[in-house]
Structure 1
C-alpha cells in the first residue's frame, strides 16, 4: 500500500508561500505516495490550476469561516453553527489582545477533516495550522515549516513554544532563518534545518512563454518608445517596500528617465495608490494585480526590482534569477543568502533614492548589466531535489 501524506496550507492566494507549495507539490512523487492537500481557504485562490492532478484536495468551508472576519459570522449563522459564531466573535476580540490565544482558538474551532492516520503530515503555514495538526490530526511523523526570519515575526511565540517541541522537525528556508529559530527555541535546535523553496527552471521557463495577450503588445510599444521596463512582485504594502518603489519612481521621473514599472500583486495598503496619484506617477506605474503566472511579465522586463524591508528567502527573486534578469534588491537581513553585491545583483540601502540610483546605474552601465546576466546564466540551479528532505520522514 502507498504511504499516506497530508500537506496543510492556509490558501493558494498570491504570495511566496503559496507559490512555494505549488512548486513543492509539482516536484513531489505522487505516484509513490498517496498525497492530499488540506486547503483551509479557497477565497482568492489563484494557483490551484497548477496543482498536480492526482493530489486529493480537502476543503471544508467551516474551516475557512472560523478563520474569517465579520462576513464569516453571517455564513456560520445561516448554516447553524451558533457556537462557532460565538467563538469567532471571541477570537476577533482576542486578536486585539493576544495573537497566540486567538490563533489557538481558531485551531480548536477547526473541525477534524480526516480520521486517516497519515505516515506524514506537513504543516506548511504555521500558527493555527501547526496547532491544528498537533492537536487534531493523526500521523506517524509531523513536520512544520516557518518561512521567515523568526526575529521579524515572533508574534506567536507564546503558542509556538508549546507546539514546536512536539513536532518531529521544523524546516525553514535559509541559514539566517535557522539561526533565528534556534535562538528562540534552543530546546528544538537539533530538529531545525533548511529546506529551500523549490524553483524548477524547466517549469518556470515553460510558463514564462505563456501569452499575456495585449499586454505584450503594450510592452513592446513602451520599449519602442524608449522606456526601460521595471518589474516588482509582491503584496503592495510597506512591508514589501512599495513605498520605496514609489519614491524611486518619483526620483526617476524628475530626472528624465523614461520607464514603466509593473507592480504585480494584491494591494494591501490602499493609501499607496493615492501616493502614486499624488506624485503624478499613474502613467509610469502599471498595476496588473494578482497573476497566477507572473513569469511572462518578468521575462518581458529589463530589470527586476525587489524593495522589501524583510524576507525569509524570496521565491520571486529565485525565479528572477532563473529567468536571468538584472536585479536590484534592498539590503534586508537575509539578502546575503541569495545575493552577492555586483556579482548576481545590485544590493542597495532601504530607501527610494538608493533604489533609483541602482536602477539608473543598470540602465547606463550596459557592461555591468550584462555581467549580472552572464553570471546568472552560468549559475542556474534546479533545487527540486530538496523534496528528498521530506521523503526521509516516510522512507
Structure 2
C-alpha cells in the first residue's frame, strides 16, 4: 500500500529551495508513494516543472481575504464580522513592517497568519515542511501526520532566524533535514538537544538533464559579446546573495581597464536598490540584471566563468550546476563554501568583499593554466546526486 506524503512550500518562485523540491519530486518512485503538494500560493517559475505524479492540493484557507492587500483585506473581514481575524490581519501587517529583518519577520508574523488557515482534513503518513519557517510551522500547527519532517536549506547560524521561535516547532518534528555537513553542524550547535534528529540529504542534481538543457540554446541566441569576458551569477536579488558586492567588484574591474560583462539571472526584493547602485556606478552596460530565466543552463555553459558572491548559503544548487558544466568558479568564503569548492582545485574561494571578488576574477583572467586545471578537475568529479532520494526513503 502506498504511503501518503505531503510536501508544503510557500510557492514555487525561482529559488534554490524551490528548485531543490522540483528535483526531488522528479526522482520519487510514485509506485511506492502518493505525493500531495500544498503551496500557500500556486505561483512561480517552477509550476510547469511539477512532475505529473504529484497531486496538487488546495490550501484550507478559512478566510481568503486574509491574503489580500491590507486595506481590502481589513474591509472584507470587518464586513464579514470577522473581528478577531481582522485584528490578526492588522497585526500581521504591523509585524512585517516593524521587524525589518525579513528572516525573522516571517517567524514573528506566523502567530497571526496561521489564524486564517484551517486544519487539513486528510491524515498523512508523512508531512514535510520543505522550507524553513512557515512551511515547517504549517505542518506542525495545521497537519495531522504520523511523522513530521522539516527541511532547512540554509546555514542557520548566519540566517538571521531566531532560534527561540523555532525551537518549539523543531521539538515537534521527527526529523530535521538539512543540505550539507556545514549546515548540519550549525543546526547541532544551535539546537544541541535535537542532535539525534538532524540529518543531511544533499540537494538532488541530475547531470544528464542539465547537460541536455544547456544545449537547447546556441551562444548566438544569448546576449553574450565575444569581445568581453562574460561572467554569470544565478541568485535571488536579496541581501544574503551579495549582489551588491558583485556590483562593486564589477566597478573595480572596470576602473582597472578589464573588459567584462556581468550577467545576473534572478529576481527579488532588492532589484530596485541594485538597479540604483548600477546606475550610480555607471555600469548599465556592464552589470546586467536579466531577471528569471526558465532555462539558465545555456548561460552557464557559454559563460567564461561563474561567480557566487553570497554572504551565506546552505548548499548552492547553482554552484553544483556550474560544476557539472565545467565552468571556472569564484565563490566568497561563506561558511559552507568548502562543502562544494576546494580552493585552487575545483574553484577559487575569495574574501567576502568586492576586492576579493575582483582579485579572484582577475586571477582566472590572467592565469590560463590555473583556469584549465580547474576545468580538468571539474571534469573528473562525480556530480550526480540522484541517489540522495534513497536517504529520504529511509526516514519516511
Q: Same fold (TM over 0.5)?
A: yes
Normalising by structure 2, we get a TM-score of 0.91
Matched residues in 2 for 1:325 and 1:177: separation? 25
- Stretch deviating more after TM superposition (149-158 or 232-241): 149-158
Matched ranges for 1:132-143 at <5 A? 132-143=138-149
Q: State the secondary structure of the residue aligned to 1:274.
A: helix
Aligned to 2:234: 233
Q: Residue in 2 aligned with 1:209?
A: 215
1:31-46 to structure 2, matched below 5 A, reads 31-43=31-43, 45-46=44-45
Taking structure 1 as reference, are residues 205 and 72 closer, same or farther at Cα in structure 2, changes over 3 Å only?
A: farther
2:55 maps to: 56
- For 1:74 and 1:383, the matched residues in 2 are separated by 47
1:63-212 equivalence runs, <5 A: 66=66, 70=70, 73=73, 77=77, 82-83=82-83, 84-95=85-96, 96=98, 99=105, 100-112=107-119, 114-211=120-217
How far residue 256 of structure 1 moved from its aligned partner, in angstroms, is 1.8
Contact 2:320 2:383 (C-alpha < 8 Å) held by counterparts:
no
* Match of residue 377 from structure 2: 375
Residues 274 and 351 of structure 1: CA distance in aligned 2, closer, same or farther (over 3 Å): same
Quote the Cα distance in structure 2 between the aligned partners of 1:248 and 1:142: 44
Give the drift of 1:74: 6.5
How much has 1:79 moved relative to structure 2? 9.8
Query: Counterpart in 2 of 1:338?
Result: 340
**C-alpha distance in 2, partners of 1:258/1:68?**
47
Tell me the equivalent position of 1:358. Answer: 360
Partners of 1:160 and 1:231 in 2: how far apart? 35
User: How much is the aligned-residue C-alpha RMSD, in angstroms?
Assistant: 2.4
Q: Secondary structure at the match of 2:262?
A: strand
State the Cα distance separating 1:239 from its structure 2 match: 2.2
In structure 1, what is the Cα distance between the partners aligned to 2:45 and 2:79? 27
CA distance in 1, matches of 2:132, 2:201: 15
2:269 matches 1:263: no
Contact 1:127 1:156 in 2 (8 A): no
> Where does residue 5 of structure 2 map in the other structure?
5
Partner deviation per Cα, 1:16-41 (whole Å, 9 max, x = no partner): 11111111111111232111111111
Query: What is the Cα deviation at residue 292 of structure 1?
Result: 2.7
Moved more, 53-62 or 291-300: 53-62
SS, match of residue 166 in structure 1:
coil
Aligned counterpart in structure 2 of residue 292 of structure 1, from 291, 294, 307: 294
Alignment size in residue pairs: 387
Could you tell me how far apart the structure 2 residues matched to 1:135 and 1:272 are? Answer: 37
Q: Does the CA contact (< 8 Å) of 1:244 and 1:352 recur in 2?
A: yes
Residue 364 of structure 2 aligns to a residue whose secondary structure is: helix
Equivalent residue of 1:31, what SS?
Answer: coil
Gaps of 5+ in 2: none
SS in 2 for 1:196: coil
Please give the secondary structure, in 1, of the residue aligned with 2:171.
helix
Task: Kindly indicate whether the alpha-carbon contact (under 8 Å) linking 2:74 and 2:89 is maintained by their aligned counterparts in 1.
Answer: no
Give the CA deviation at 1:81: 8.4
Task: Measure how far apart 1:348 and its partner are.
Answer: 0.7
Q: Is the 1:264–1:287 contact (alpha carbons within 8 Å) kept by the matching residues of 2?
A: yes
TM-score, reference length from structure 1: 0.91
d(CA) in 2 for partners of 1:56 and 1:324?
36
Cα distance 1:315–1:65, how it changes in 2: closer, same or farther (>3 A)? farther
Q: Is the 8 A contact 1:321 1:376 kept in 2?
A: yes
Distance 1:111 1:79, change over 3 A: farther
